[in-house]
């Protein structure tokens, strides 16, 4: 579906309701288990793209050092990562994290002055509209879910609510991760999620180089292997980086012990 | 300022002293994980800090041990009212640290993804959490300490001090490129990361730009070049 504001009662609507129900069942299932937080956040940005029909989505967290760090994105294109990362300086995500409220621009071309550097980068990456919803727990904002559309696109109210619901699941997922040592503090959980993402990036580099594939294919293989062999994504990634598991078997999906 | 004295201190020690000054804490210490998996105390600002490090090595338990293992900070604002699981996990450490007057302890892993360098431990003789600005300073100090320890083998540890704030630390391309270079050179992750930084420094280019070239396959590293 190309955008969210279709007329009620259509087959498309029913498909979407079905997809929505399935998505939240999967997420709820994940949250009661001992899950991998980065994997969960990727499920969320994928769900965001599928349910809201946006072109791309990313999730940024406050790294507690004064920057926003990307922890999940719907694709691994450098252009998207750069547009996401730029927002440590200025952009809708930074405004969203600082204010704790959703920020959106229906048409970046008509509204370039707000964040000139971000707007230019986003447009040259093929995006015309952007929205960010906060990851909030009580008074604290820990990050933002960022959505991009290739066309000028006012976000319908229902889609905004749905995006906020996905962001809320992300917040719970990050802060309620069942800690193996103690009921950890917010900062501990946030830093854990951030470092997990770094391990996964390093593993993607190893897989991409060893197997001659791009970052997207490397990540897809990593996730698929983790799922098929019931492994946590970041633990598997750690083994890849440390050379404790054969990168070619991860790419091919074969289990090698 | 005691700048002349400070110059004789190692970078990790200077980072610890800075922590004491900026975080309203009583002392700080850094322990290191070597390539062979052994661990050792790098520095401690005072006897109590040294005791905290020693205790954890001897006992094999404590915040520093957990921080290294889980890859996330472990923060205990008050050792006398910790949650139950901490008492369960570190009974001997809590007793030993309490005996030398430690009330609050915060351990920060020195890590860059899979690269595990060591742990920064800070303690206070009064209870209470790190406030927002202090947490930020502690995390930045841990980033700096990780780099300082990684560079202890190189001639000058100030050589690369300019290009890597926390800003660079979370540029994803840098970590992807690290994994790529690790395979290209057949070296451990930490060496790949250092080689990448050395190349960026030699080229006079930002690390993230060089990393982006590596990811885009415009730049390759080969064993002969290094």
- Of B143, B189, B215, nearest to A215 by CB-CB distance is B215
- Of A85, A184, A241, nearest to B179 by CB-CB distance is A241
Distance of alpha carbon A108 from alpha carbon A112, whole angstroms: 6
* B220 within some domain: no
CA distance B1 to chain A (A): 26
| Whether residue B187 sits in one domain with residue B116 | no
Whole-prediction pTM: 0.86
Of the candidate ranges A23-27, B8-12, B144-148, B213-217, the one whose mean pLDDT is the lowest: B8-12
Confidence at residue A181, expressed as pLDDT on a 0 to 100 scale = 45
Residues in B touching A215 (Cβ below 8 Å): 176, 215
Question: For position B180, which CATH number holds?
Answer: 1.10.10
A175 touches chain B (CB under 8 A): no
Confidence at residue A10, expressed as pLDDT on a 0 to 100 scale = 78
Q: Are A182 and B73 inside 8 Å of each other by CB? A: no
Residue B6 has pLDDT above 50, yes or no: no
Paired with A136 in beta bridges are A141
| Whether residue B171 sits in one domain with residue B115 | no
Residue of B nearest to A79 (CA): B212
| Averaged pLDDT in 10-residue chunks for chain A of 257 residues | 52 82 84 85 92 94 91 87 89 96 94 93 95 92 96 88 93 72 70 92 96 93 93 95 92 67
Residue B148 has pLDDT above 60, yes or no: yes
Q: What is the mean pLDDT of residues B75-80?
A: 89
Q: Compute chain A's Rg from CA coordinates.
A: 18
Tell me the three state secondary structure of residue A60. strand
> Which residue ranges make up each domain of chain A?
11-178, 192-252
Distance of alpha carbon B113 from alpha carbon A93, whole angstroms: 24
A11-178 and A192-252 agree in CATH topology: no
% residues pLDDT > 70 (chain B): 83
- Of B70, B113, B139, nearest to A198 by CB-CB distance is B113
Confidence at residue B157, expressed as pLDDT on a 0 to 100 scale = 44
Instruction: Pick the closest to residue B135 from B24, B6, B14 (CA basis).
Output: B24
Domain boundary residue among B153, B182, B207? B153
Spell out the residues 6+ positions from residue B126 whose beta carbon is closer than 8 angstroms to its own: B103, B104
Residue B199 has pLDDT above 90, yes or no: yes
| Whether residue B187 sits in one domain with residue B101 | no
Tell me the CATH number of domain A11-178, given options 3.40.50.300, 1.10.3720.10, 3.30.450.40, 3.40.50.2300. 3.30.450.40
* B113 within some domain: yes
CA distance A90 to chain B (A): 14
Question: For position B99, which CATH number holds?
Answer: 3.30.450.40
* HEC string for B120-148: EEEEECCCCCCCHHHHHHHHHHHHHHHHH
Instruction: Pick the closest to residue A37 from A240, A238, A235 (CA basis).
Output: A235
Confidence at residue A240, expressed as pLDDT on a 0 to 100 scale = 97
Specify whether the backbone of A3 is left (phi greater than 0), alpha (psi in -120 to 50) or beta. Answer: beta
The answer to whether B45 touches B30, Cβ cutoff 8 Å, is no
CATH of domain A192-252: 1.10.10
* B161 within some domain: no
What range does the domain containing B204 cover? 166-215
CA distance B164 to chain A (A): 13
Q: What is the mean pLDDT of residues B52-70?
A: 88
Residue of A nearest to B113 (CA): A199
Tell me the three state secondary structure of residue B27. strand
Confidence at residue B83, expressed as pLDDT on a 0 to 100 scale = 66
Confidence at residue B7, expressed as pLDDT on a 0 to 100 scale = 46
Task: Report how far apart, in Å, the C-alpha atoms of B220 and of each of A58, A78, B47, B210 are.
Answer: 29, 18, 48, 10
Confidence at residue B156, expressed as pLDDT on a 0 to 100 scale = 46
| Whether residue B183 sits in one domain with residue B133 | no
ipTM of the modeled complex: 0.86
Q: Are B215 and A205 inside 8 Å of each other by CB? A: yes
The answer to whether B49 touches B28, Cβ cutoff 8 Å, is yes
How many domains does chain B contain in total?
A: 2
Confidence at residue A198, expressed as pLDDT on a 0 to 100 scale = 93
First to last CA, chain B: 41
The answer to whether B199 touches B221, Cβ cutoff 8 Å, is yes
The answer to whether B119 touches B67, Cβ cutoff 8 Å, is yes
Q: Are A206 and B136 inside 8 Å of each other by CB? A: no
Q: What is the mean pLDDT of residues B129-139?
A: 89
Of the candidate ranges A63-72, A111-120, B15-24, B86-95, the one whose mean pLDDT is the lowest: B86-95
The answer to whether B23 touches B130, Cβ cutoff 8 Å, is yes
Name the average pLDDT for chain B: 84
| Whether residue B188 sits in one domain with residue B136 | no
């Amino acid at each position: 579906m190309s955008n969210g504001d279709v007329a009620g009662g259509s087959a498309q609507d029913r498909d979407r309701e079905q997809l929505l129900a399935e998505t939240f069942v999967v997420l709820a299932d994940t949250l009661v288990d001992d899950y991998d937080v980065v994997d969960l956040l990727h499920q969320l940005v994928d769900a965001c793209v599928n349910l809201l029909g946006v072109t791309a989505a990313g999730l940024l967290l406050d790294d507690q050092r004064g920057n926003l760090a990307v922890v999940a994105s719907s694709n691994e294109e450098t252009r998207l990562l750069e547009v996401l990362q730029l927002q440590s300086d200025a952009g809708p995500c930074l405004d969203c994290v600082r204010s704790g409220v959703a920020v959106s621009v229906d048409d970046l071309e008509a509204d370039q002055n707000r964040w000139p550097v971000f707007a230019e980068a986003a447009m040259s990456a093929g995006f015309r509209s952007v929205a960010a919803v906060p990851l909030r727990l009580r008074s604290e904002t820990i990050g933002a879910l960022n959505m991009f559309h290739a066309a000028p696109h006012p976000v319908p109210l229902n889609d905004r609510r749905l995006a906020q619901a996905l962001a809320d699941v992300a917040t719970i997922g990050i802060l309620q991760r069942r800690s193996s040592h103690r009921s950890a503090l917010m900062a501990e959980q946030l830093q854990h999620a951030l470092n997990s993402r770094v391990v996964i990036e390093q593993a993607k580099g190893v897989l991409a180089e060893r197997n001659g594939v791009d970052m997207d294919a490397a990540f897809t293989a990593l996730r698929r292997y983790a799922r098929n062999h019931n492994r946590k994504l970041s633990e598997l990634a750690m083994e890849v980086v440390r050379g404790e598991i054969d990168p070619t078997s991860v790419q091919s999906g074969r289990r090698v012990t | 300022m005691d700048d002349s004295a400070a110059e004789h201190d190692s970078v990790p020690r200077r980072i610890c002293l800075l922590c004491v000054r900026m975080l309203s804490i009583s002392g700080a210490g850094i322990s290191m994980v070597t390539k062979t998996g052994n661990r050792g105390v790098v520095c401690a600002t005072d006897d109590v800090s040294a005791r905290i490090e020693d205790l954890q090595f001897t006992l094999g338990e404590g915040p520093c041990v957990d921080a290294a293992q889980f890859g996330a900070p472990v923060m205990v604002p008050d050792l006398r009212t910790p949650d139950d699981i901490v008492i369960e996990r570190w009974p001997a450490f809590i007793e030993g640290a309490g005996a030398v007057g430690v009330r609050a302890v915060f351990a920060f892993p020195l890590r860059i993804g899979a690269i595990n360098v060591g742990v920064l431990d800070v303690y206070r003789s009064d209870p209470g959490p790190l406030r927002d600005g202090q947490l930020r300073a502690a995390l930045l100090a841990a980033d700096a300490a990780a780099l300082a320890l990684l560079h202890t083998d190189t001639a000058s540890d100030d050589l690369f001090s300019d290009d890597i704030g926390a800003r660079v630390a979370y540029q994803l391309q840098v970590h992807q490129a690290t994994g790529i270079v690790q395979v290209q050179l057949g070296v451990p992750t930490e060496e790949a990361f250092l080689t990448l930084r050395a190349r960026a420094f030699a080229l006079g280019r930002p690390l993230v730009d060089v990393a982006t070239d590596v990811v885009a396959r415009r730049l390759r590293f080969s064993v002969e070049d290094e």
